Structures are given as structure tokens and as C-alpha cells.
Chains A and B, each alone.
Chain A
Amino acid sequence: MRLLAPLLVALGTSSCVIVTWARARQLSPPPAGSVESLEPGADDLGDALAHLGAPIEAFQLEGGRYVLAYGWFQDSGWTVTVIVPIQNVSGRFTYGELGAKGKGVVLFFDGDDRITEIRRGYLRDILEPLRRKRPSMPLERPGDEGEGGDEGAG
């Protein structure tokens, strides 16, 4: 009978209190030591791909530069969700939510495919400022100046 009381309490609160223990994993970090083995100024795109595999993202920067990003996310934690009826609307309060920030490594390359910089940290913090400064598409290739057009007023 001692079991009955806590059982009834649990049954009575199961619709308004939920305790969650969750673990989430998304992608995997590169092999240990692989990032440290890359040297800015010496290694290039081929070395980066050989050591780290395929990136999750690539995009260009100004001046012919570009970045490759590697990311992963692993987290676990407890969450307590309390659902409280307020008049005709259910209020919902959540505590201890899982963090949603993925960590990663971003490699910067120059126009000759040489690594110029390596940054580690939260991907969002590294990539967001770069995304805002993405260049527009170049209109002409370097050797195309004389084609199609504007000869000038010479």
C-alpha cells in the first residue's frame, strides 16, 4: 500500500509535469589530432580533405578566398517541463533545455587553395559574420575583358 500513494501522485501529475533526460548526437568530430596536424601557410585543400574528410559546408569569401566548415554536436541533459492551465490557455515553462549549438572547425583558404587560418569554436559564432559578408558573383573572368563589349572611347 505504501507503493500506491507515490504511484497515484505520479499518475496524477503525469499530464502536467514531464521530466526528460535526453542525449543527442549529430555528426562526429574529426579524428583526434587531425586538425592539429594541419599547418596554415603550408598545407592546402588536398591536405585538409585528406586529414578531415568531407566538410559540412563550403562557401566563398571576398578576394577569391573561401572556407570549409566541419561541425558536430553532442549534448545531454535534464529538462523539466511544467504545463499549467491559465484560464483557457495552457502556459508552458521549460527549464534546463538542451543547448543547440554545434561545435566545429573552420578552415580559411586563399585563392591558391592554401590554408591561411584555422578557427575552432561554436560554428554559429564563426560562420554567421562570414555569411553576412558573402560576395556577389563576379561578372567577368580575368581573361574576358575584351569580349562582348565595351571597347571604350579610344
Chain B
Amino acid sequence: MRLRPGPLFLACVLVLLCPGCLLQRGRINERLDPAAFEGLVPGESTAADVVAALGAPTEVVQLGFRSAYRYEHVKTKEAALFLLVLLLRGTDAQQDRAWVFFDENDVLTHFAATLESRDAEWALPVFQTDPDVVAERKRKAAAATAAEGQAGVETGASPSGE
């Protein structure tokens, strides 16, 4: 007589194969608000105006007699699945960051913001989006934005106000 695996046995195997899965999210600082950059005018805005709009910077850097402030928000997503001896793990950390540059008199000369924290993905290795696909998606999105004539705060930089 040959034994056939019953539903209970299959259920046990299924449970044994999935003893652990993990979804973990990390965050550093608050998201940067694109609207906060709209009032910044190179050549006019001062360091006080920038702090009033964006809050306290993450870092202040001295560049000779000039200075630059860095703002940062990081979002990390990690997914893992443990199958007996096999561990699948995917980690994605994306960032909103902005730099504002001042002259010797603390007047804004340049600023740029890159807002990508929303691109962070939950993805196990088998399901993770190919980086080339992500790059192509971003390129198309940037092209669409440019075609609509919108001011690109996310990748834009303002020239010196001199």
C-alpha cells in the first residue's frame, strides 16, 4: 500500500516552509515638503528665511567664508522571508535631500532638492524591480514633467543671484 500525502501533511509542510517573514520600515527625519522651496529666491532669501521655511538643517557645512545647509529625510523598507535554510532579503533606502548654499553674507545663492523617498520599495530579491526599469521610469517621468512645462523643484537648481 502506498501512502499519499494528505491535506494535513501538505498544510504542515506549508507552515514549516513559512516560519518567518519580516516587513520593516525605517525613517529618519520628516519628509521634505516641495512647497517649502517655492518661496526661496536666490539673491534675496537669507539663511533666516531658509530656516523659517525648512526648519533646522541636518548639517551645516563651511565652504571657505560661505556656508551650505543640508536637509535630509531617509525612508528604508526591508522585506525578508525565511524558508527553513533559505533567507530572502530585500532592502531599499531612498532619500529626500536638499542643499542650500549661501554667500558670505548668508544670502541664498543656490539650492537643489532631490525628492526620492517615495521610490523606496518593499521587495524580496525575486520580486524587486530591475534598476534599469526604475531608471527608465524616472527618465520618462522627468520628460513628462518637462513637457508639461512645470518647474522641477525636485531636480532643479537656481542660479546665483549675482
Q: For B125, give its contact among A3, A13, A76 (CB under 8 Å).
A: A76
* In the complex, A141 has a CB within 8 A of chain B: yes
* In the complex, B34 has a CB within 8 A of chain A: no
Given the complex of chains A and B, what is the CA–CA distance between A37 and B152 in angstroms? 18
* In the complex, A31 has a CB within 8 A of chain B: yes
Given the complex of chains A and B, what is the CA–CA distance between A11 and B17 in angstroms? 10
Q: For B159, give its contact among A32, A46, A54, A59 (CB under 8 Å).
A: A46
Q: For B114, give its contact among A54, A59, A66 (CB under 8 Å).
A: A54
A17 x B85 contact (CB < 8 A): yes
**Number of B residues, CB within 8 Å of A:** 51
* In the complex, A23 has a CB within 8 A of chain B: yes
* In the complex, A138 has a CB within 8 A of chain B: yes
The interface size bin for chain A is 35 or more
A120 nearest CB across to chain B (Å): 17
Give the interface segment out of B22-30, B44-52, B86-94: B86-94
B65 x A22 contact (CB < 8 A): no
A14 x B85 contact (CB < 8 A): yes
Q: For A26, give its contact among B68, B93, B114, B157 (CB under 8 Å).
A: B93
B142 x A21 contact (CB < 8 A): no
* In the complex, A38 has a CB within 8 A of chain B: no
Of residues 67 to 96 in B, which have CB atoms within 8 Å of A's CB atoms? 68, 70, 84-95
- Which residues of chain A are near B125, meaning CB under 8 Å? 21-23, 76
- Which residues of chain B are near A3, meaning CB under 8 Å? 5, 13
Residue of A nearest to B19 (CB): A14
Q: Which residues of A contact B (CB under 8 A)?
A: 1, 3, 7, 10-11, 13-14, 17-29, 31-32, 45-50, 53-56, 58-60, 64, 66, 74, 76, 111, 113, 137-138, 141-142
